[in-house]
């Protein structure tokens, strides 16, 4: 049976089976949340990376040469969460550490990253949007396949443009 220390007491570490520890954590979270359901009902993970780097992309592939981490801007994800998506799906992180998150609304899916230097990508919510979301960014912009709505760069009133795209579609 697998054990893991939950916390240390005066008599040493308290060890619980992982299943019991996980249940305890689940109970703690429901107590902290006042037994409320989260505003975004389903959090899931995608089996693949959203918007992977494509051939012909001018950025280097593999581990980044610059060892300074890309700044993170969590407000980007909070902005979309506040608009009330039906579902949030976390994509797999790329080698460079960038991961896009899919915010699924009634008729639109928005891909957003909290890392600097990434834009929002909008797709029609239909069967097959996941396939489009796995295309490279350059391929999406060059081919403009059916189901791909637009790209919004984080400049100017990008929140207004994003909100309008979600409401109109």
39-48, 107-116, 139-148: least confidently modelled range: 39-48
Q: What is the 8-class DSSP label of residue 125?
A: -
Model pTM score: 0.65
Q: Where are the domains of the chain?
A: 3-32, 43-168
Q: Which two tokens stand for residue 41?
A: 């009902």
Please tell me what DSSP assigns to residue 115: B
Residue 22: per-residue pLDDT: 57
Residues 91-121 have pLDDT tens digits of: 887 766 778 899 999 999 999 998 888 899 9
Report the pLDDT averaged over residues 31-54: 56
Q: How confident is the model at residue 14 (pLDDT cuts 50, 70, 90)?
A: low
CA angle, corner 107, sides to 101 and 113, nearest 5? 15
Residue-level length of the chain: 169
Q: What mean pLDDT comes out for the span 57-68?
A: 47
Cα–Cα distance for residue pair 10/116, rounded to 1 Å: 45
pLDDT of residue 48 exceeding 90:
no
Which percentage of the chain shows pLDDT scores above 70?
Answer: 60
Alpha carbon distance 149, 119 (integer Å): 13
Residue 76 has pLDDT above 50, yes or no: yes
């Amino acid at each position: 049976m697998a054990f893991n220390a939950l916390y240390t007491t005066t008599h040493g570490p308290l060890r619980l089976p992982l299943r019991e520890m996980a249940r305890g954590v689940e109970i703690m979270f429901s107590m902290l949340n006042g037994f409320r359901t989260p505003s975004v009902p389903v959090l899931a993970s995608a089996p693949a990376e959203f918007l992977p780097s494509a051939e012909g992309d001018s950025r280097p592939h593999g581990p980044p040469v610059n060892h300074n981490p890309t700044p993170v801007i969590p407000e980007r994800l909070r902005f979309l969460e506040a608009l009330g998506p039906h579902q949030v799906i976390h994509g797999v992180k790329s080698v460079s550490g960038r991961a896009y998150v899919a915010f699924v609304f009634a008729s639109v899916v928005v891909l957003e990253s909290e890392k600097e230097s990434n834009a929002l990508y909008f797709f029609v919510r239909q069967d097959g949007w996941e396939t489009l979301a796995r295309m490279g960014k350059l391929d999406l912009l060059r081919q403009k396949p059916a189901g791909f709505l637009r790209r919004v760069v984080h400049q100017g009133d990008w929140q207004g443009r994003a909100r309008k795209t979600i409401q109109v579609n």
